[in-house]
Amino acid sequence: MPVLRVVIAPDSFKGTADAGSAARALAEGWRAVRPGDDVRCLPMADGGEGTLDAFEQANPGSIRMPVIVTGPDDHVFEAHWLLVPGVDAGRGGTAVVELASTSGITLLHPLRPLEAHSLGFGQAVRAALDHGVDRLLLAIGGSASSDGGAGMLTALGARFVDAEGRTVPFGNVGLGDVERVEFEALAGLPHGGAVVLSDVVNPLLGRHGAVAVFGPQKGIGKGLERDAELRLAHFAQLVEEERGTDPATPGAGAAGGVGFGLLSWGATLVPGSAAVAEALGLADAVAGADLVITGEGRYDHQSESGKTVSHVRDLAAAAGAHTVLIAGAIDAEPYAFDEWMALTDVAGSREAALADPRHWLTEAARRLASARP
């Protein structure tokens, strides 16, 4: 039996398995059939859930820094941001701050379509600034809210007030009451800047915008969509007049408009999957690999728009490796992969796959390895 070099680089299977757990399950299944192969695990992320873990793995000297934040349901809890020391980053180091773990949708039970906000993410960013970091890497996937980044900006010193001069309520619900935006006390960027790791390129408004595309998964149904869009547009107009930030900028609609808020702060948006891949050295890892396995919870039409699985595949294909997608469910034809497998098919049903995703990931990898010569 020839020895194969296998790289396993999945994203998280959102809500069921983080990227690290998914990678370990796949590796376990593969090694059960082919124990002599060279198998390397590189859990991935695209700026959403798991980004902090990915950077921590890539930087062994990094430190998780605790911070008290207010979650999207107003619950106060302890989260973390990641301090990455390094000569290149300067004496203060780089901070990696993840929205998913501070203001993410997985923190909500039930959803809060109009009241959820991004305040906690901003509080974590502010804590990193107060620590004295030289550079920010801001991972903004997995948002719970559609607040245009107002909560985040408030934590950084901005104020959004109504006609009576009172601070408006957090969340999308308060954006329509904003009559004046005040950025005089807004914290400055660190001297190394702020880079936003975004997993989408949507504008803030319109049929491809934050509310229309991502609102439904946050609970904004048809009865709420029109007013939510109008409130967001009203807020965007005021911010654009004050800061010159164009809501049509690609990525402004990321994270319910947190991308727009960060652009108004002066941050730069980059594709999250590429940034994480570079930090992990994925291109070097797949060079010379025989087979590269990636995966995510649901493969659909959005998966080819800067998502982790498409980026991993492209790097692997460029290196001449055989590419494999293993997804919880496959809702679009993944023709660009050499092979693909859905856990719903392996398990026999969606319910079974969701009940024990780690088991079915292991079984999928066993079947994949068993098919090798």
Between CA 272 and CA 116 the distance in angstroms is: 24
> The whole model's pTM is what?
0.90
Domains of the chain: 5-42+283-370 (3.40.50.10350), 51-273 (3.90.1510.10)
CA neighbor of 29 nearest in space, from 367, 372, 371, 291: 367
Q: What is the pLDDT of residue 90?
A: 52
Q: What is the pLDDT of residue 177?
A: 98
Contacts 24+ apart (CB under 8 A), 356-361: 357/13, 357/16, 357/17, 357/22, 357/25, 357/328, 358/17, 358/21, 358/22, 358/25, 359/25, 361/13, 361/17, 361/22, 361/25, 361/26, 361/29, 361/295, 361/326
State the Cα torsion 219-223-226-232 to the nearest 10°.
Answer: -30
The DSSP secondary-structure symbol of 210 reads I
Return the amino acid letter for 87. V
Return the amino acid letter for 229. E
Q: What is the pLDDT of residue 89?
A: 45
CA neighbor of 120 nearest in space, from 155, 59, 70, 156: 70
Give 310's contacts (C-beta < 8 A, 6+ positions apart). 273, 303, 304, 336
Give 98's contacts (C-beta < 8 A, 6+ positions apart). 49, 51, 52, 81, 82, 139
Mean pLDDT by 10 residues, the chain (373 residues): 95 88 97 98 92 90 97 98 75 93 96 98 98 96 97 98 98 98 98 92 97 96 96 98 98 97 97 91 96 96 86 97 98 96 97 96 98 91
Contacts 24+ apart (CB under 8 A), 316-321: 316/7, 316/286, 316/289, 316/292, 319/283, 319/286, 319/287, 319/288, 319/289, 321/7, 321/286, 321/289, 321/290, 321/291, 321/292
Q: What is the pLDDT of residue 178?
A: 98
Phi and psi angles of residue 258, each rounded to the nearest 5 degrees, phi first: -60, -35
Q: Which residue has the tokens 């302890």?
A: 78
Q: What is the pLDDT of residue 88?
A: 52
Cα of first residue to Cα of last residue in the chain, in angstroms, is 7
